[in-house]
């Protein structure tokens, strides 16, 4: 018999159930050193999906497993493997109901991840008339622990429950702001610099970083017509903040925060009257074309508490490409 799967995202269980879960597992419980096969498969499927969007891996939690197992057993024994009523719960959760063939951990996670095609990362929203909440919970960056359980009923229906801690998939008010962006591209092997200023009249930029790309590498990257740069902060990077940088999904090195120097200050002052465009700048005492620049308006979008994005909106015709820069928190 064909396997029919229906996925629903839920963020909570009842208050009474929370009390039972708290009694069933000690707060300090940790995962065993050798995980069962099903646990390894749940983790592998989740972490593969998270790695695809440059999000850190989850760890297996015995406490979450105990909570999921308790609820799955209750649904099997009392509710015939129906979806659990999860309200007012402290964990994030995904559920999957199946009928017919057995549901493997990989099948369950793959079903949730299929909603990726309906999710817009920049706006942290789902496509019209579609749901994507289960996928968002799978890849939610701040979630760090996972615990799953499965139950099968006599009529060959089954229920899969995964809990996530800290919970994800909550929404914050979106905020969009236009900022002026200048990309300084030195001729030669020097690295490209990105400057973003929320107010063109302010002296210091809100963002000023050196990207791990030379001018030729940057130009080559945007030839694809779509350029996505993702900056993931390096913990404990010292006085100078650094980010692991990905260009169209490929790891390219480390970006670093800069202080505006004499050369950069001259470029920004020279560009004051330029609203948007691309071209060359001649520095005094240098050969013509010593600097290339790209300048325009970027839309700053904060779609969740763990990321913000800058999308080029004017001019949209630079090299016919679509440019976005994502800063992860």
CATH number at residue 148: 3.40.33.10
Q: Is residue 54 part of a domain?
A: yes
Q: Which residues contact residue 187 at a Cβ distance below 8 angstroms, ignoring those fewer than 6 apart?
A: 215, 289, 290, 291, 292
Domain membership flag for residue 4: no
Same domain for 125 and 231, yes or no, is: no
Residues 159 and 194 in one domain: no
Question: Which helix (H) or strand (E) is 45 found in, with range?
Answer: helix 37-51
> 140, 165, 190: which is the final residue of a domain?
165
Evaluate whether 184 touches 168 at the Cβ level (below 8 Å).
no
Query: For the segment 67-91, what is each residue's pLDDT rounded down to a tens digit?
Result: 999 999 999 998 889 888 776 567 8
Cα dist. 157→97, 124, 303 in Å?
7, 33, 37
C-alpha 58/C-alpha 41 separation (Å) is 12
Residue range 289-307: average pLDDT? 73
- Residue 27 included in any domain: no
248 inside domain: yes
Cα torsion 192, 196, 202, 206: sign: negative
pLDDT digit string, tens, across residues 252-282: 999 999 988 887 888 888 877 777 777 777 7
* pLDDT above 90 for 102: no
Percent composition of the chain: helix, strand, coil (DSSP 3-state, to 5): 25, 35, 35
Exposure of 267 by Cβ count < 10 A (0-12 exposed, 13-18 middle, 19+ buried)? Answer: buried
- What pLDDT score does 268 carry? 82
User: What total of structural domains would you count in the chain?
Assistant: 2
Between strands 4-10 and 157-165, the pairing is unpaired
Kindly give, in sequence order, each residue whose CB lies less than 8 Å from that of residue 45, ignoring residues fewer than 6 positions away. 105, 106, 108, 109, 110, 113
Q: Is 53 a residue whose pLDDT tops 80?
A: yes
Which of 146, 165, 184 is at the close of a domain?
A: 165
- Residue 182 resides in a domain: yes
Can you list the positions of beta strands (E) in the chain?
4-10, 59-60, 92-99, 119-120, 125-126, 145-152, 157-165, 175-186, 191-197, 207-214, 226-233, 242-247, 250-257, 277-281, 291-304, 307-314, 322-328
Give the range of the structural domain holding residue 185, as residue numbers without chain letter: 175-328
Q: Are 248 and 126 in a shared domain?
A: no
Is the domain of 190 the same as that of 103?
A: no
Domain-located, residue 11: no
Nearest alpha carbon to residue 157 among 234, 102, 197, 212: 102
User: 273 in a domain, yes or no?
Assistant: yes
Distance of CA 163 to the CA centre of its chain: 19
Label residue 285 by pLDDT band (50, 70, 90).
low
Q: Are residues 226 and 151 in the same domain?
A: no
| Same domain membership, residue 44 and residue 94 | yes
Q: Is 283 inside a domain boundary? A: yes
Together in a domain, 43 and 130: yes
Together in a domain, 101 and 192 = no
Determine if residue 129 is left, alpha or beta; phi over 0 gives left, psi from -120 to 50 gives alpha, anything else beta: left
Are residues 211 and 103 part of one domain?
Answer: no
Domain final position from 165, 192, 215: 165
Q: Are 313 and 216 in contact (CB under 8 A)?
A: no
Q: In a 3-state reduction of DSSP, which class is residue 82? A: coil
In this prediction the pTM is 0.48
Q: Are residues 64 and 120 in the same domain?
A: yes
Task: Between 1 and 35, name the one with better pLDDT.
Answer: 35
The reply to whether 308 and 245 lie within a common domain is: yes
Contact 151, 72 (CB under 8 A): yes
Does one domain contain both 204 and 273?
yes
């Amino acid at each position: 018999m064909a396997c029919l799967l229906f996925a629903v995202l839920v963020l909570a269980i009842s208050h009474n159930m929370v009390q039972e879960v708290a009694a069933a597992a000690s707060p300090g419980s940790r995962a065993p050193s050798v995980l069962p096969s099903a646990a390894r498969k749940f983790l592998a499927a989740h972490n593969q999906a998270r790695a695809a969007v440059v999000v850190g891996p989850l760890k297996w939690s015995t406490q979450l497993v105990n909570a999921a197992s308790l609820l799955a057993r209750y649904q099997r024994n009392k509710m015939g493997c129906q979806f659990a009523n999860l309200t007012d719960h402290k964990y994030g959760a995904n559920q999957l109901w199946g009928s017919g063939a057995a549901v493997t951990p990989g099948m369950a996670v793959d079903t949730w991840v299929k909603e990726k095609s309906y999710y817009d990362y920049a706006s942290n929203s789902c496509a019209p008339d579609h749901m994507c909440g289960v996928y968002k919970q799978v890849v939610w960056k701040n979630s760090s622990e996972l615990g799953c359980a499965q139950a099968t009923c006599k009529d060959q229906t089954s229920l899969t429950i995964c809990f996530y801690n800290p919970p994800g998939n909550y929404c914050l008010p979106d905020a969009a702001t236009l900022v002026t962006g200048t990309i300084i591209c030195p001729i030669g092997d020097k690295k490209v610099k990105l400057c973003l200023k929320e107010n063109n009249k302010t002296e210091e930029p809100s963002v000023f970083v050196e990207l791990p790309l030379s001018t030729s590498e940057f130009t080559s990257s945007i030839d694809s017509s779509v350029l996505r740069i993702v900056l993931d902060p390096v913990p404990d990077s010292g006085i100078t903040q650094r980010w692991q940088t990905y260009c169209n999904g490929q790891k390219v090195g480390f970006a670093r925060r800069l202080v505006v120097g004499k050369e950069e200050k001259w470029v920004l002052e020279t560009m004051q009257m330029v609203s948007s465009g691309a071209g060359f700048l001649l520095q005094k005492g240098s050969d013509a074309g010593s600097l290339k620049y790209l300048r325009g308006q970027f839309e700053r979008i904060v779609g969740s508490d763990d990321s913000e994005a800058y999308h080029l909106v004017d001019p949209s015709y630079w090299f016919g490409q679509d440019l976005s820069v994502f800063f992860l928190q």
